[in-house]
Amino acid sequence: MGHTLGTQREYDLLRRRMDHGVTGVPDSPAIRKILEMLYSPEDAELARRIPVLPAPVGKLARRLGLPEDELRDKLTDLARRGLMFDFEKGGERYYGLPPILGGVYEYIMMRERSGLPIEELTRLFDEYLNSGDFMRIAYSGETPFTRTLVREEAVTGADHAEVLDYERVSRLLERASLISVALCSCRHKNSHLGKACDRPQRTCLSLNTAAESMIHSGIAEHIDAREALRIIDECKAAGLAQLGDNVQHNTGFVCNCCGCCCVLAKGVRTMGINHAIVSSNWMPEVDAARCTGCGRCAEACPVDALAVERAEGEESGSAHAVLAEGLCLGCGVCHSQCRSGAIRMKARPSRVFTPETTFDMVGHMAIERGKLAEMVFDDPESFSHRTLGRLMCLLEKSPPWKAAMAVRPLRSAFLNTVFTISKETREQRAEWRRAARTANESENGQFQ
């Protein structure tokens, strides 16, 4: 695009700022080209000054020295183009710099767009997101940002009572304050590459605060719970697995994913990154005596966790499905595809850990990826004593090995942050001490 070296530096600084996020944005020729295509030099210069953790526009305006209305207009424009987090909280709009996966990629590909070189963009996104370097960095820890939602109809009998509300798609949709729908970013991307499957594309659901953000930015359309449940039924019939964000409260999205197009499923299936998606608390159990070896379950599994095998010496027709437990998402798609009743979903031996809130999830991800210090340094002023206290609680509740990962980078970062955010408090205390000494000296003089 003929940018100067100074302009190239803005894009490099923008990528580095994005890399402060927990999923990471590693460098590559593909990501440099993506940023150049999406951001003007002026956009890049502004965006890199926005923190990764969303902050209120008034605070950002004071920090950047810009009129609040002017900054809001600029950030709203970036959000409508899919380049900025934007949501309302307490009557004020918050903005934050999104990563590529779990942000820009989805916002660009979740709707039809004009005015963009979409064919080249989809090729670059495909190259970047499916690279081994990106996937290994994005999923270097044990806590992913996506979890599997078991099909409720696959869990029957006494076990059904053990399915918690945050594990039920129906409950998430019925209790959502707002719901929106948009295109599946992965199948839409692949349709431009000529390799999408024939499953439906209007399937990506956003809930609650995330839905407000999507609707406000024109990325998604508002729908009611009945329409959302209809979409879920359509997706189940098409053999799609339901995934949500890895939290118990205030769920932000429900995706309907296939194994052939989904970036995360592909990471599990072809790159061996088993923890790209956390499993549900359920897993299939195959009754070998009833299994006919038809292979429908293996064909339907989004991560190739099932295979049809025949033991040596067994007669033809005695093959049955075998599960690779370490790969299984516990989605229940296999149960729906089995016509012989040979598959039932059973509870896993121990419950899978699910963070309570997005703050907890991001905190665990940052600790595991050694990015807790970067989060603190990214926007020190946003880390109030209450926020730092919540982080310390996460560390206290973490296993020793996980807490130890965060201690070394936090030794300097945490102390510097505390000194930064409490400078005014320390100055006030110093003034109080001086006043107290003066008062004491005066009082002592009276008694002498």
Residue-wise pLDDT for 60-88, tens only, equals 999 999 999 999 999 999 999 999 999 99
Does one domain contain both 271 and 387? no
Tell me what pLDDT residue 1 has. Answer: 43
Does one domain contain both 299 and 163? yes
Looking at 208-361, which runs of residues are DSSP E strands? Answer: 221-223, 241-245, 253-257, 282-286, 306-309, 320-323, 343-347
Does one domain contain both 325 and 390? no
Tell me what pLDDT residue 312 has. Answer: 61
**Cα radius of gyration (the chain):** 25
Q: Is there a domain that residue 438 lies in?
A: no
Does one domain contain both 153 and 238? yes
Look up the pTM and report it.
Answer: 0.83
Beta strand 241-245 with 221-223: parallel, antiparallel or unpaired?
unpaired
Does one domain contain both 75 and 195? no
CATH of residue 285: 3.30.70.20
Q: Is there a domain that residue 20 lies in?
A: yes
CA 124 distance to own-chain centroid: 21
Q: Is the pLDDT of residue 307 over 60?
A: yes
Least confident range from 213-217, 293-297, 354-358, 373-377: namely: 373-377
Does one domain contain both 281 and 381? no
In percent, how much of the chain has pLDDT > 70? Answer: 79
Structure tokens of 102? 């779990």
Tell me what pLDDT residue 319 has. Answer: 86
Q: Is there a domain that residue 324 lies in?
A: yes
Residue among 54, 147, 61, 141 at smallest CA distance from 94: 54
Among 65, 80, 101, which residue terminates a domain?
101
With 0-12 / 13-18 / 19 or more C-beta atoms within 10 angstroms meaning exposed / middle / buried, residue 270 is: middle
First to last CA, the chain: 81
- Give me the number of domains the chain comprises: 3
Which pLDDT tens digit goes with each residue over 327-344? Answer: 999 999 999 999 999 999
Least confident range from 164-178, 338-352, 379-393: namely: 379-393
- Give the pLDDT mean for 153-159: 78
Of residues 272 and 116, more confidence is placed in 116
Q: How far apart are CA 24 and CA 286, in angstroms?
A: 38
Tell me what pLDDT residue 390 has. Answer: 66
Which pLDDT tens digit goes with each residue over 194-235? Answer: 999 999 999 999 999 999 999 999 999 999 999 999 999 999
Tell me what pLDDT residue 346 has. Answer: 92
Q: Is the pLDDT of residue 424 over 50?
A: no
Does one domain contain both 329 and 384? no
pLDDT band at residue 385, thresholds of 50, 70 and 90? Answer: low
Contact 165, 173 (CB under 8 A): no
Phi, psi (rounded to 5 degrees) for 344:
-125, 150
> Could you tell me the residue range of the domain that residue 392 belongs to?
370-424
pLDDT band at residue 3, thresholds of 50, 70 and 90? Answer: very low
Q: Is the pLDDT of residue 2 over 60?
A: no
pLDDT band at residue 160, thresholds of 50, 70 and 90? Answer: low
Q: Is there a domain that residue 128 lies in?
A: no
Tell me what pLDDT residue 359 has. Answer: 85
- Per-state percent for the chain, helix, strand, coil, to nearest 5: 50, 10, 35
pLDDT band at residue 162, thresholds of 50, 70 and 90? Answer: confident
Does one domain contain both 95 and 200? no
Does one domain contain both 190 and 88? no
Tell me what pLDDT residue 413 has. Answer: 46
Average pLDDT, the chain: 85
Q: Is the pLDDT of residue 314 over 90?
A: no
Q: Is there a domain that residue 140 lies in?
A: no
Residue type, 152: E
Q: How far apart are CA 187 and CA 29, in angstroms?
A: 24
Distance (Å) of CA 177 to CA 7, 61, 222, 361:
43, 30, 11, 21
Tell me what pLDDT residue 250 has. Answer: 93
Among 74, 101, 128, which residue terminates a domain?
101
Tell me what pLDDT residue 380 has. Answer: 53
Does one domain contain both 90 and 196? no
Tell me what pLDDT residue 444 has. Answer: 46
Residue among 329, 355, 306, 302 at smallest CA distance from 141: 355
Q: Is the pLDDT of residue 151 over 80?
A: yes
Q: Is there a domain that residue 410 lies in?
A: yes
Does one domain contain both 192 and 250? yes
pLDDT band at residue 137, thresholds of 50, 70 and 90? Answer: confident
Distance (Å) of CA 393 to CA 1, 372, 387:
48, 14, 10
- Answer positive or negative: Cα dihedral of 168, 173, 175, 176: positive
Among 294, 314, 347, which residue terminates a domain?
347
Does one domain contain both 343 and 380? no
Distance (Å) of CA 376 to CA 8, 388, 396:
27, 9, 18
Q: Is there a domain that residue 165 lies in?
A: yes
Burial 60-88 (b: 16+ CB within 10 A, else e): bbeeeebeeeebbebbbebbebbbbbbbe
Q: Is there a domain that residue 248 lies in?
A: yes
CATH of residue 40: 1.10.10.10
Q: How far apart are CA 237 and CA 203, in angstroms?
A: 13
Q: Is the pLDDT of residue 119 over 80?
A: yes
Of residues 367 and 299, more confidence is placed in 299
